[in-house]
């Protein structure tokens, strides 16, 4: 069977190279948050395209669909509608990405800030009250501070799942150790996992490259606990499928939990297909 399969093409020291896909790709995103027997889901679509900035960094332009479905319904509560309106301000979102595929910052912050100023006036035409002004002031802090907005974006479950460090040297064993940090519910701090990251030697029948991550929680870098020492249970499992021409993510599925009880769990499923017409790109500095 293996003799009929094509091997993954690596560069020096079994490094999976990051490439620029010339066309945009559309994705369907499902986020599910489990808390005991309760399950909340969020569904939306995303369009992505890549631009080479220089030899050591790239720009990923992310555009999310205006329609977001919460538990299979469009937002109907005031809090849900406001959250959706605020989130829409971010898109199109231009992210800086390093050579490993990790998101490192935002490239179109001035444009996003202008959109937020316009969106505030739009919101005030629909809602009024002291509670609204408090809500707007809280969001002002993020949209006026670039570092705060970067932290907010990096807590997005899709962004966190998609921009993992895939483009690394996997060594002759085709497996490396890696640390991943992912957001969880409304927790202010990300969860840290120590994982084994393995890449399949062969491209599968669908012309996809499979990467798997499996591991358990570890102490944060600045924790007094021993670095990378496992903490109270919790697991992380992710499967990522990259199309083999440009090494671009085609699909992914990951789930993780903070403890052994597994009463709370997050799951992200992404499936993608190429599209032809992207929306207007954001303005870049």
For the stretch 92-126, pLDDT in tens is 999 999 999 999 999 999 999 999 999 999 999 98
Percent of the residues in the chain that have a pLDDT greater than 90, as a whole number: 55
- Judge whether residue 276 has pLDDT over 50: no
For residues 253 and 80, which has the higher predicted lDDT (pLDDT)? Answer: 253
Mean pLDDT of 275-282: 47
**pLDDT score, position 277:** 46
**pLDDT score, position 274:** 54
- Judge whether residue 158 has pLDDT over 60: yes
The chain-wide mean pLDDT, for the chain, equals: 86
**pLDDT score, position 174:** 96
**pLDDT score, position 126:** 87
Which of these ranges, 55-69, 169-183, 233-247, has the smallest mean pLDDT?
A: 55-69
173 Rama sector, left if φ>0, alpha if ψ -120 to 50, beta otherwise: alpha
Angle value at C-alpha 200, between 7 and 221, nearest 5 degrees: 135
**What is the pLDDT confidence band of residue 232, given thresholds at 50, 70 and 90?**
low
Mean pLDDT of 249-259: 91
**pLDDT score, position 1:** 53
Cα 194 to Cα 199: distance, rounded to the nearest angstrom: 16
pLDDT in tens, 7-16: 999 998 999 9
**pLDDT score, position 6:** 92
In 3D space, the residue among 158, 164, 216, 159 whose CA is nearest the CA of residue 191 turns out to be 216
Which segments within 219-261 are labelled E, that is strand? 230-243, 248-257
pLDDT in tens, 171-219: 999 999 999 998 886 666 788 999 999 999 999 999 999 999 999 988 6
Q: For the range 177-182, what are the long-range contacts, defined as Cβ-Cβ under 8 Å and sequence gap of 24 or more?
A: 178/213, 179/218, 179/228, 180/213, 180/215, 180/236, 182/157, 182/236, 182/256, 182/266
Mean pLDDT of 234-238: 92
Percent of the residues in the chain that have a pLDDT greater than 70, as a whole number: 87
**pLDDT score, position 278:** 42
Mean pLDDT of 226-249: 81
Residue 85 burial by CB count (10 A; 0-12/13-18/19+): exposed, middle or buried? middle
Mean pLDDT of 135-156: 89
In three-state secondary structure terms, 164 is coil
**pLDDT score, position 285:** 45
- Judge whether residue 142 has pLDDT over 90: no
The dihedrals phi and psi of 147, each to the nearest 5 degrees, come to -60, -40
Q: What is the pTM of this model?
A: 0.86
Would you say 158 and 31 are in contact if contact means Cβ atoms under 8 Å apart? yes
Q: Tokens for 278?
A: 């992207």
- Judge whether residue 281 has pLDDT over 80: no
**What is the pLDDT confidence band of residue 57, given thresholds at 50, 70 and 90?**
confident
């Amino acid at each position: 069977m293996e003799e009929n399969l094509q091997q993954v093409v690596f560069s020096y020291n079994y490094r999976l190279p990051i490439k620029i896909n010339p066309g945009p790709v559309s994705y369907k995103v499902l986020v599910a948050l489990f808390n005991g027997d309760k399950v909340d889901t969020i569904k939306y679509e995303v369009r992505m395209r890549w631009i080479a900035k220089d030899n050591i960094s790239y720009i990923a332009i992310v555009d999310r669909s205006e329609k977001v479905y919460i538990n299979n319904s469009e937002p109907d509560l005031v809090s849900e509608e406001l959250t959706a309106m605020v989130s829409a301000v971010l898109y199109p979102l231009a992210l800086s990405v390093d050579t490993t595929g990790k998101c490192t910052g935002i490239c179109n912050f001035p444009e996003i800030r202008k959109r937020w100023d316009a969106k505030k006036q739009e919101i005030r035409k629909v809602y009024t009250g002291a509670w609204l002004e408090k809500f707007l002031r809280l969001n002002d802090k993020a949209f006026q501070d670039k570092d705060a907005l970067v932290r907010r974006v990096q807590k997005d479950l899709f962004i966190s799942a998609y921009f993992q460090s895939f483009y690394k040297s996997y060594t002759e064993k085709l497996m490396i150790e890696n640390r991943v940090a992912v957001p969880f519910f409304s927790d202010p701090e990300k969860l840290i996992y120590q994982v084994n990251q393995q890449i399949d030697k062969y491209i599968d029948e669908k012309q996809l490259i499979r990467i798997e991550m499996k591991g358990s929680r570890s102490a944060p870098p600045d924790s007094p606990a021993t670095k990378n020492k496992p903490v109270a249970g919790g697991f992380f499992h992710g499967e990522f499928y990259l199309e083999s021409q440009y090494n671009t993510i085609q699909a992914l599925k990951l789930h993780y939990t903070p403890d052994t009880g597994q009463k709370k769990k997050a799951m992200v499923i992404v499936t993608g297909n190429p599209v032809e017409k992207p929306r207007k790109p954001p303005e870049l500095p």
